[in-house]
Structure 1
Amino acid sequence: MTSNQTGTHGAVLQDTAPEGDGRPIVQLRNAGKAYGNIRALHGVDLAVRPSQVTCVLGDNGAGKSTLIKIISGLHQHTEGEFLVDGEPVRFSTPREALDKGIATVYQDLAGVPLMPVWRNFFLGSEITKGPWPIRRLDIEQMKKTADEELRNMGIVLDDMEQPIGTLSGGQRQCVAIARAVHFGARVLILDEPTAALGVKQSGVVLKYVAAARDRGLGVIFITHNPHHAYMVGDHFSVLRLGTMELSAERSDISLEELTNHMAGGAELAALKHELAQVSGVDVEELPEEKDLTAL
């Protein structure tokens, strides 16, 4: 990566290096979040280690968004503990999370479609040159740095001046990942990065998720697709109605078992039993409980 530089917000931009001891960078212990009388999250345990992809799966309303908001500093937890490098924290703003090396790439990417790729890469953290108070943007340095960082991640663009809106969805996701790596992220949260993509573009994004892991980052991959999660995941956590239903290492669970937890195999089996009581429904054509993992 590029050597240390200073952005306009004053943060030192350092190379990302693997942390060798394997201790969690981010850890939640029995964490939860309540909005008044509504418990959106309860009793969640999660550990994010360097050079690992932690996949968090769940259906709509499972609590994935609330979990992201707590870790990224948008909301504060109301139960349990939130630790970074073993120290309890309570972020007030996303900037505080960024200062600890926790970066979030949201599904909408928060870019400016008509701006060039290099401008989006440095958006809000532009490099400047010249004496104060007449400092100006160092455009050539930003173009060069953005191009180098994208190439380090395996992304080759012919023209850094092209509007980022002309890139495919997968390419824009990859630019956002490379940007987070460059600005010193140690934990990268990816919010449903493949949700709106086709098969080929999803494969492109998954390749760069693995590349971020190989560069020593701890990755939190939020998704509702167990097949995508299993391709790159090292640890799997399944949320259901705000609680952690499953927490397992890759070696301890198969894709079928993961899909079964995600799809709610027990609930589908109960539904089949209820449908058997309804006239006109041929439950013999429905899959058996052991086959529900295919759903």
Structure 2
Amino acid sequence: MNTAAESASERQGPPLLRLRGIGKRFGAVQALRDIDLDVWPGEVLALLGDNGAGKSTLVKIIAGAQAPTSGSMQFHDQTLRQFDPRTARDLGIETLYQDLAVAENLDVSANIFLGRERKKRLLGILPFLARREMRKESVLALQKLAIQLPLRQPVGELSGGQRQAVAIARAAYWQAKLVIMDEPTAAIGVGEHAAILHLIQTLAASGVAVILITHTMPDVWQVASRITVLTRGEKALDGRPDDLDEDLVVKAMLVGKGVAA
């Protein structure tokens, strides 16, 4: 059993994230219907489903990018109303989309502090970036996750896996409590693939909850502590990897509710 699964099996107390009856309608299209979902600290939840299953819509709701049509959402026992991406980030919800939202012309340190730059004042008047302080903090952030990167190299010159590592380090540095990852191992090399999975396990071991969206089934059984399958906007299956197999999960993705374990 993987480390994430072990930590999840020992979870205590209320969930970090609690969704109840979440629905989302776009005109005549019901994208999500009555979704209940709990996520605990230190858990890696694999959110699976075919294209159009509702994964992206659900993630955007959790990240504050879209408002649900119905249902309620709690984070740390706080009911969320008038929720937006800035509020999500302030609460500790970080979302790493496939494009990663990195500034390719800036170096690693500048990306870790992107939008949260530290500043000082020259002679107490003129503001300027505290670059040396940010680089020092960036080194510590990377070391904490055992990430080795050329600190002053523009992120646009890094590989796909290295960019993922920068985004993960940024989330960890700003003390994210929940990190949502959308296909983090897509289009990266084999060696980097293993490194990203290790980083996911490291986040979970530190108590960070991770929602992992992926189509790579071996990754699910390597790092996930729980699997939730969405089909046509409904929750079709939920369980621990040890209690499920790939055939059952794929069948749930295709058929939907009513799949027996």
Does the pair score TM above 0.5?
yes
C-alpha distance in structure 2 between counterparts of 1:46 and 1:225, whole Å: 22
1:149-194 CA distances to partner (integer Å, 9 max, x unpaired)? 011101012x311111122111111110110111121010111112
C-alpha distance in structure 2 between counterparts of 1:45 and 1:183, whole Å: 28
Is the Cα–Cα contact under 8 Å of residues 97 and 181 in structure 2 kept in the other structure? yes
Task: Tell me whether 1:227 sits opposite 2:218 in the alignment.
Answer: yes
Task: Please list every run of at least 4 consecutive aligned residues from structure 1 whose deviation after the TM superposition is greater than 6 angstroms.
Answer: none
Question: Corresponding residue for 1:58?
Answer: 49
Q: Secondary structure at the match of 2:53?
A: coil
Letter in 2 for 1:227: P
Question: Corresponding residue for 1:70?
Answer: 61
| TM-score calculated relative to the size of structure 1 | 0.78
**Counterparts of residues 121-200 of structure 1 (less than 5 Å):** 121-130=112-121, 133-157=125-149, 159-200=150-191
Q: CA RMSD in A?
A: 1.8
1:79-105 CA distances to partner (integer Å, 9 max, x unpaired)? 121111223213432001111111111
**Gap regions ≥5 residues in structure 2:** 1-10, 257-261
| TM-score calculated relative to the size of structure 2 | 0.88
Pick one of 241, 246, 253 that aligns with 1:250.
Answer: 241
C-alpha distance in structure 2 between counterparts of 1:176 and 1:57, whole Å: 22
**Counterparts of residues 113-124 of structure 1 (less than 5 Å):** 113-124=104-115
Q: Which moved more, 1:222-231 or 1:129-138?
A: 129-138
1:7-60 CA distances to partner (integer Å, 9 max, x unpaired)? xxxxxxxxxxxxx74421111112111112211111111111101101100111
Change (3 A) 1:22 1:217: farther
Task: Tell me whether 1:241 sits opposite 2:237 in the alignment.
Answer: no
Pick one of 79, 99, 111 that aligns with 1:88.
Answer: 79
Letter in 1 for 2:236: E
Letter in 2 for 1:38: V
C-alpha distance in structure 2 between counterparts of 1:220 and 1:209, whole Å: 10
Is the Cα–Cα contact under 8 Å of residues 31 and 233 in structure 2 kept in the other structure? yes
Deviation at 1:240, TM superposition (A): 0.9
C-alpha distance in structure 2 between counterparts of 1:39 and 1:260, whole Å: 22
Residue identity over aligned pairs, in percent, reads 40
Is the Cα–Cα contact under 8 Å of residues 29 and 44 in structure 1 kept in the other structure? yes
Q: Secondary structure at the match of 1:135?
A: strand
C-alpha distance in structure 1 between counterparts of 2:181 and 2:44, whole Å: 10
Change (3 A) 1:219 1:119: same
- Relative contact order higher in (CA < 8 Å, ≥ 6 apart): 2
C-alpha distance in structure 2 between counterparts of 1:191 and 1:211, whole Å: 17
Deviation at 1:115, TM superposition (A): 1.3
Letter in 2 for 1:102: I
C-alpha distance in structure 1 between counterparts of 2:32 and 2:174, whole Å: 30
Letter in 1 for 2:238: S
Deviation at 1:199, TM superposition (A): 3.1
C-alpha distance in structure 2 between counterparts of 1:128 and 1:27, whole Å: 37
Is the Cα–Cα contact under 8 Å of residues 57 and 236 in structure 1 kept in the other structure? yes
Letter in 2 for 1:235: R
C-alpha distance in structure 2 between counterparts of 1:238 and 1:91, whole Å: 28
Determine which structure has more spread, i.e. the larger CA radius of gyration: 1
C-alpha distance in structure 2 between counterparts of 1:254 and 1:91, whole Å: 39
Question: Corresponding residue for 2:8?
Answer: none
Is the Cα–Cα contact under 8 Å of residues 231 and 252 in structure 2 kept in the other structure? no
